[in-house]
Structures are given as structure tokens and as C-alpha cells.
Amino acid sequence: MPSLKGLQLRAELFFQIRRFFRNQGFLEVDTPVRIPAPIPEAHIDAVPSHGWFLQTSPESCMKRLLSQGYENIFQICKVFRQEEYGARHLPEFTMLEWYRARADYSHLMEDCENLLDFCIGNLWGKKPFVYQGESPDLSRPWPRVTVSEAFLKHAGISVEDALATDRFDEIMAFNVEPALGANPVFLMDYPMEKAALARPKPGNPKVAERFELYIGGMELANAFSELTDPEIQRERFDQEEKERLQAGKAPYPPPVRFLQALETMPPSAGIALGMDRLAMLFADTTDIAKVNAFTPDEL
Amino acid sequence: MINAGELRKNTKLMIEGDPYVMLEVQFVKPGKGVAFYKCKMRNLMTGSLLERTYRSGDTFEPAALDERKMQYQYAQGDEYYFMDTKNYEQVMLTAEAVSDAKDYLIDNLEMDILFFGKKAIGITLPNFVELEVTQADPWVKGDSVAGDSKPVTLQTGLVLQVPPFVEEGTLIQVDTRTGAYVTRVKK
């Protein structure tokens, strides 16, 4: 059940976010929700729809727009993922994505700081911002912590060992995320095998330029310096598809036009931010249902 | 088979040969990573609690449980006997399996008995049961010291808070889900 405060804050956030990106000269785009070929990702399952699929994110369409010369674009849209249902997940949820051409993930970290500053400034003014009894320290720059550092600090294990024993996701979920605390933190530089769409970090090809933003221990956004090499992208997709098949999942059609578009896509950075999570943060709730008009159980 | 993604509160599943009921499922999924299901379950045979974390792709055997309408007969020590009134078949439940339901068991009361295969493992009581008050302090009208409730003892030995006007020998209705007094019943 939604709370009145939850729905009001949600509406307010939509408004403030559109203002923020308009002010910066971004073009709001509105791409199809139903697509023929989702991006193959091992642990994200698209909902079939009459031979096509509902998007799990607007990534492929937005990157095709980048390749056509639309350089700064954003979108707020519904996305769909099978079987994701819990206090922080709904199988249908709302995503904000934005892309910047000729930028990398460090620009997106600044965007996150600016965007949250803007929203909190307009919605909270001088009032203290509180989430679950704690006031996150929002002074900038927000800490940037590498995944390697976080694994050593919070789990006492190296990322290499975690990957070798197939415990990376488990340690991330049960040791690292709960230890991140109330303050904002950018968890950055993921191992290459955990970032199929990100480019390698110059000078350290073992890690990818990917970050996740956490506030109040809650994952809010995922960002990449985008991989623009169609050949490497094709190989990464093959790997993801292999994992999907091993898990007994049906294969996706190859995203041919997306891969073609990469050939002309400028170096870019892109980010997906969960609008429901952001609304949860602002409405001071740990339950995603409180910021949604209806959950599937209520329909 | 049940997929980990289908686990919900009240799902009944087999774990290492025993039937369990799911009490709580917490869905945890780090960005782009595999999904985890942090589960709290109760063993329906022993009553013990189990906490386990499963991951997406894990599968489970559903627990084959049925419910049959039966009538309470009598207790002997720690053994409680129930009978199927259609075929007169009798089953026994241990005090452990009966648990707090013993406070509501009166002769010939009908209820659902939960079976795992041939073995009776639990009780689902009717929501309301009528019980006689066997001991109550008398009601003195105008006694403001007594307050708005008093303890009485029911025929099963259950002690309950009821309004002061309820007297010995009265039949009352009790909500078995909350254990609270509902109303007086005419005999």
C-alpha cells in the first residue's frame, strides 16, 4: 500500500529530475518499451511479450540514439524483470537513465552529486535530510571506494578469491552492501567479468569503469563508461548467453542493430538510477510498496 | 518443482526429507548479480526453525500435505486422539504437535488435521470455539476496584481475561487466533 507522502514525493521527484536535466540541456527521450532483442545479461530475465520482450532497461535504444548524434539524453520509463520481488524490488519498476557523449563515469559521479543536491535543495531546503533515523553526510565529493578495497575492508577477502570461489555476489550482498552505512558512496571499478557493457579502465584492464551509487546502504544507480567496441561487446554477450543457457534459460535473439550502432557511437558514459529507490530514500521508507500506487499483489 | 523465485510466505516444501513451511522470504539482489532468497522456515515435523539462504536456480520438492476434517476424542498423557467421523479412523498427535491448541480441545470438537503422508503433524483450529467457565470470582455490581476485566478458568484449564459480568457456568466464545474473549453464548 502506498503512503500519501510516498506518492507525493514520487511525483515531486519526477518533476525535479526533469527540471534538472532540462536546465543542463539534456533531451528527454521516450523509446519503445517492447523490443525484439534484450541485452543478454546472465542474471536479468526479460518478460516475453508476443514474440518480443519488455525492456529490462532502455539501454539499447538510448545507445542507438547516441550513435545517431543525440549526445545528452535522458529518459524516465518503466522496465520489467522477471521474478524480482521484495522490499526493494518490483518486477515492474521505474528507471531513470541518462547518457553523456564524450564523457566517462567520473562525470556521472558528479552528475549524481549535482542531481541529489538539486532535489534535496528544492524539496528539503534547509531542513535536515533523514533516512531511517540517520542523517547522511552529503558534503561533496562523496567517497569513491573501489570494489577491491571494499571487499578487503568489509569481508577480508580479495575480489580475485571471491570470484575464484563463485562468492562475489554473495559477499557483495551480505558483507559489503550492509556495511556501506548511511552516507553516500560510489563503489567503483568492478572486475571485468561483472561489467559486460563497460569499458576496461585505462592502465588496469582487469577492472571495468563501472560504479554503483549507494545511500543509506541502498543501491540507487549503476553506471558505466560505455564499451563501444562492437567485437568485444559481441564476445561479452556470447559469454552472458552461455551463462544463461547453463542456467537453463531460453536464449535471446542477438541484438544485431544495437551491435551495429556501437560502430558509430561516440565514447560515452551512461547510468541507470532506480526511481522507486530514490523515492524510498526521500520518503524515508524501507518498503518499495510505500512509493508505488500498486504492487502486483494489489492488482 | 518449486523454483527459488516462487518461494513465498506459507510455501510448503521438502528439505532433507522433512516438510517445512516458509515463514519469511527476503529477496536480496546486488546490482546485476545473482538473486538470493534469505529464508526462515519451520520444520512441520519437529517445530524447529531453520534459516537458509538460497540462490536463483535452486529448486525444491513441494511438500505433499493434506488436511482432513476430524473430531477430537480424548487425551492420554502426552497423546491426543482424533477421529475421522466418516471412516472412524483414529490418529494420534503428540503434545508437541498439538502445542497451544490443547487449550481449546473439547470433546467432539471438529477441526482440520494436517497430514504428511500417513502421519498427522498439526492442527488448524476453527476460528471460534465455545468453552465453559469453570471457575470465576463472583461479580459484585458497582465494584469499581475490580476494573473492567477479571481472570476466569475455562473447562480446558485455560485462564482468560473476560468482562466482570461473566460468571461460573457461563458458555463463552473465544477467538482461537488471538486467544481473546469474544462474547457470551446462550446454552
Structural domains counted in chain A: 1
Rounded to a whole number, what is the distance in Å from the CA of A196 to chain B's nearest CA? 10
CATH fold, domain B128-185, is OB fold (Dihydrolipoamide Acetyltransferase, E2P) (2.40.50)
Q: Cβ of B35 under 8 Å from any chain A Cβ? A: yes
Please state the pTM of the whole predicted model: 0.81
d(CA B180, CA A71) in angstroms, rounded, equals 67
Considering CB atoms only, which of A44, A173, A194 is closest to B36?
A173
| pLDDT tens digits along A151-191 | 999 999 999 999 999 999 999 999 999 999 999 999 999 99
CATH fold, domain B2-62, is SH3 type barrels. (2.30.30)
Contact call for B28 and A86, based on CB within 8 A: yes
Residue A48 maps to a domain: yes
Residue A10 maps to a domain: yes
Residue B104 has a pLDDT of 95
Residue A12 maps to a domain: yes
Residue A104 maps to a domain: yes
Considering CB atoms only, which of B3, B27, B36 is closest to A85?
B27
Residue A204 has a pLDDT of 93
Residue A2 has a pLDDT of 80
For B32, nearest residue in chain A (alpha carbons): A43
Contact call for B30 and A173, based on CB within 8 A: yes
Residue A278 maps to a domain: yes
Find chain B residues with C-beta within 8 A of A163's C-beta: none
Residue A212 maps to a domain: no
Residue A51 maps to a domain: yes
Contact call for B32 and A174, based on CB within 8 A: no
Q: How confident is the model at residue B142 (pLDDT cuts 50, 70, 90)?
A: low
Q: How confident is the model at residue B146 (pLDDT cuts 50, 70, 90)?
A: low
Contact call for B53 and A83, based on CB within 8 A: no
In this predicted structure, the answer to whether residue A213 has a pLDDT above a threshold of 90 is yes
Mean pLDDT of A49-77: 97
Residue A176 maps to a domain: no
Interface probe with B: pick from A167, A169, A220, A273, most Cβ of B within 10 Å: A169
Contact call for B29 and A89, based on CB within 8 A: yes
For B55, nearest residue in chain A (alpha carbons): A170
Contact A162, A206 (CB under 8 A): no
CB-neighbour burial class of residue B151 (10 A; exposed 0-12, middle 13-18, buried 19+): exposed
Find chain B residues with C-beta within 8 A of A222's C-beta: 31-32
Rounded to a whole number, what is the distance in Å from the CA of B12 to chain A's nearest CA? 19
| pLDDT tens digits along B61-115 | 999 889 899 999 999 999 999 999 899 999 999 998 888 899 999 999 999 999 9
- Cβ partners under 8 Å of residue A182, min gap 6: A131, A132, A134, A135, A136, A137, A215, A216, A217
Rounded to a whole number, what is the distance in Å from the CA of A205 to chain B's nearest CA? 20
Contact A151, A157 (CB under 8 A): yes
Residue B97 has a pLDDT of 85
Q: Cβ of A219 under 8 Å from any chain B Cβ? A: yes
Residue B59 has a pLDDT of 95
Q: Cβ of A179 under 8 Å from any chain B Cβ? A: no
Residue A61 has a pLDDT of 98
Q: Which spans in chain A are helix H?
A: 4-23, 59-67, 105-124, 147-155, 159-164, 168-171, 230-246, 256-262, 275-283
- Cβ partners under 8 Å of residue A125, min gap 6: none
CATH class of the structural domain B65-124? mainly beta
Let me know if the fold of B65-124 is the same as that of B128-185.
yes
Per-domain residue ranges of chain B:
2-62, 65-124, 128-185
Residue B143 has a pLDDT of 62
| pLDDT tens digits along B147-177 | 688 999 999 999 999 998 999 999 999 999 8
Domain extent for A56:
4-138+228-298
Interface predicted TM-score (ipTM) over 0.85: yes
In this predicted structure, the answer to whether residue B38 has a pLDDT above a threshold of 90 is yes
Q: What's the CATH code of the domain at A127?
A: 3.30.930.10
Interface probe with A: pick from B2, B3, B28, B51, most Cβ of A within 10 Å: B28
